Amino acid sequence: MSWDSGTTDSEKAAINGLSLDSEDQQERIQARRQRIAARIEAKRREALGEDPASLSDQKEEPRKSYKQIEESRQRLGKLVSDGTQLVTNIQIAVDARETQRRATEEELKRLRVEKIDNEAKSSYEKFQAITKKWLLSREKQIPQELWALLNSQQQQCGQLIEDKNKLIGELQQELKRKDDQYVKDLKKQSEDIDLLIERMEDQVKSLIKTYREELLHTEKSFEEERRELLDNNRKKWEQGMQSRRDIELESLLNRMKKVEEYEKQLNQLRVQDGEEYNMIKIKLETDVQILQQQLQHIKATFQLNQEKLEYNFQVLKKRDEENTITKSQQKRKITRLQDVLNNLRIKLDKQIRQYKEENQSLTDDFRRIVEQYKELQKKMRHFASVDAKKFHDIWVMNEEEMKQLVQRALEADRIIQEQQLGLPWTAPDLQFLENVGPLVPEPKQQKSASRLAQEVMAASATDGQRDLIKSGDEDSESQPFSPRTVKQILELLCDESGFLIESKLLQLLSPLDKDDQSLMKLDSIFGALRIEVEEDVYKLVDFFLKYRQQDETPQEKADGVHHPSTSTPTDLIHPNDVLRALKAFTMEFHQPREKTSHTRQTSSDDRDSSEDAAYWDAAAHVIPESRLKVWDALESAMEKYYDVLTSRTELITETSALRQQNGELRMLLHQYLNSKINTELEIPPTQMMKVEFTQS
């Protein structure tokens, strides 16, 4: 498939019924694939020498099958969306009715609950009034008043029961209405489902019918397109065969013309070569005669030269014999020297081979050890990072859990103080809860090397001084060397390390006094040696003192002479040994520090955990002990209150049961007194009860 050069990629994809801007992901993917295939086909045709412009007429308009597919897809999509909307309209209507029903039901429920609450309140008030009148019955002594009170109580009880029955009847009527409504809703739901099924069946039938029609249309369009393509390809094939026959006939005529021309050229070349052959033959015969004459002259000259050469040969033969004797002597000497040279070469090769083997072995061992060291460092860094991450994650998890527990405890304490005890509540100091992650203590601030040198130079140098060097802070720790010893070492370093100071700086320092010059020189020397803090200065002093002890003579060691850190000037290192000691100090202290700096940064073992216990203890004691004692007292009081409420609940339950039994007995008594059989008896029970009541 070839595309016109003026057609864009989006137009090419649209011609095939696909669009790069479509909302369907699969359609966009298919459009990109067709675009890539079109580009590959165009490059292939261009490589074969075909003219894309000659095939552009074939794709000026979309194919009929693609048009039919696109129209069918749009028609079917519209049919599906319309059918879906028609089916979902039923669900929307049902949802609207259900929403309205729930709102109405909620309002009826609210009114019903309100009615029940009002009736319960009024019944309780009437019951309290009846109960109070029962207490007044004990004060009545006159039977008529007691009878009137009893009738009044009976009427009030009847009124109370009638109100209850009326409420029960209304609720039963409402329940019946709900049952009727439920039956109607079921019937309506069944109708909606039937309608939904009917519409779905109609939609399915319509879709099946439409799909079949569109499928027939698509098949017809493909058949028409297939017939057109066959006709076009047959015409192109016939045109191509006719053009090929014409080209072959033309090439045959051209070949016959070239054969005739080549025959003429061959005849001309034969005649020309014959003439040249005759001329060359005559010239060569003349040259042969001249060469024969020169040969006779050369033979005469050869005879003369042969006699001269025989004489010279005899002379040279004598010389050769002498040279042979000399050569044999030289050969024997060369052979002897050659043997010596061979022996030396064998020894040299053996030594070189031995040294190479040792070098290779040592190189392999070195590489293996370096690889093991790198692998060990990698594992150490990996495990250190993993342990640090695990420690951080566990810390954060426990810290979050601790914060939640603290907040719950404080919330419980606030509720107990404000709601249970009625006391004002103040929140404690919760600044420690702002921390997130493991505690990182502030690094210890060290004094700079320049500051230490300035303080040492300003210190007193008396013989009895033993005061320690202190920083500006009063709480700083004591230092290991006296100012006098440090000052002597630094002055000795200034005097013997002038090569570390630039000449321009020495010229600028010449007008200053000795102490200022020493301070400026020490700044330059410290910068060259990478001495930054006071700890590095004390390491330098300690190294110089130990270097002096290592250089002691065996006689001094036997005599027990030693040099402590507070040595006298005579015990310090010799000025001639300063450079060697300085070189050894640089090799020993700076390279290990550079190699292990990364490991120290990544290691989690150096973390200061001294404040962890205080941090977690502060979280554990966020509620003070006095408050916890109040909690214990409140807990015991609440348990007693709970026991009282439990016993009261049991009494209320028992009272309710007795009231129910009393009501049932009243109803039985009322039925028994109002029974018709009492009128048929000679002595009714009511008469006996009146007599007993009168006697009592």
366 pLDDT above the threshold of 80: yes
Could you tell me how far CA 177 lies from the centroid of its own chain? 63
Please report the pLDDT score of residue 651 as a whole number.
93
- Of the candidate ranges 289-293, 328-332, 371-375, 611-615, the one whose mean pLDDT is the lowest: 611-615
Helix axes 483-496, 534-550, angle to 10 degrees: 80
Q: What is the pLDDT of residues 429-449, one digit of tens each?
A: 777 777 777 776 555 556 677
Residue 282 pLDDT grade (very low, low, confident, very high; cuts 50, 70, 90): confident
Please report the pLDDT score of residue 647 as a whole number.
92
Average pLDDT, the chain: 77
333 pLDDT above the threshold of 50: yes
Share of the chain above pLDDT 70, in %: 79
Helix axes 612-620, 143-415, angle to 10 degrees: 170
| HEC-encoded secondary structure of 93-124 | HHHHHHHHHHHHHHHHHHHHHHHHHHHHHHHH
Residue 644 pLDDT grade (very low, low, confident, very high; cuts 50, 70, 90): very high
Please report the pLDDT score of residue 223 as a whole number.
85
267 pLDDT above the threshold of 60: yes
Domain coverage including residue 464: 447-607
Instruction: Say yes or no: 452 and 521 in one domain.
Output: yes
Tell me the CA distances in angstroms from 187 to 88, 97, 182, one per residue in order.
20, 14, 9
Contact 523, 545 (CB under 8 A): no
Instruction: Say yes or no: 637 and 586 in one domain.
Output: no
SS3 563: coil
Residue 676 covered by a domain: yes
Residue 655 covered by a domain: yes
pTM: 0.32
Residue 351 covered by a domain: no
Please report the pLDDT score of residue 137 as a whole number.
67
Residue 406 covered by a domain: no
Instruction: Say yes or no: 458 and 549 in one domain.
Output: yes
Please report the pLDDT score of residue 596 as a whole number.
46
Residue 11 pLDDT grade (very low, low, confident, very high; cuts 50, 70, 90): very low
CA distance 406 to 622: 7
Token pair 């969306």: residue: 81
Residue 568 covered by a domain: yes
**Could you tell me which of 109, 15, 106, 1 has the C-alpha nearest to residue 60?**
15
Instruction: Say yes or no: 494 and 584 in one domain.
Output: yes
Please report the pLDDT score of residue 645 as a whole number.
92
Q: What is the pLDDT of residues 13-63, one digit of tens each?
A: 444 556 666 667 677 777 777 888 888 888 777 766 555 544 444 444 567
User: Which residues on adjacent β-strands are paired with residue 647?
Assistant: none
Task: Tell me the backbone φ, ψ of residue 31, rounded to 5 degrees.
Answer: -65, -40
Rg, C-alpha atoms of the chain? 62
355 pLDDT above the threshold of 50: yes
Residue 29 covered by a domain: yes
Residue 151 covered by a domain: no
Instruction: Say yes or no: 460 and 573 in one domain.
Output: yes
Token pair 């502030």: residue: 442
Q: What is the pLDDT of residues 473-529, one digit of tens each?
A: 433 445 677 778 888 888 887 777 777 776 767 767 677 777 777 777 777 777 777
Instruction: Say yes or no: 462 and 571 in one domain.
Output: yes
Please report the pLDDT score of residue 48 as a whole number.
63
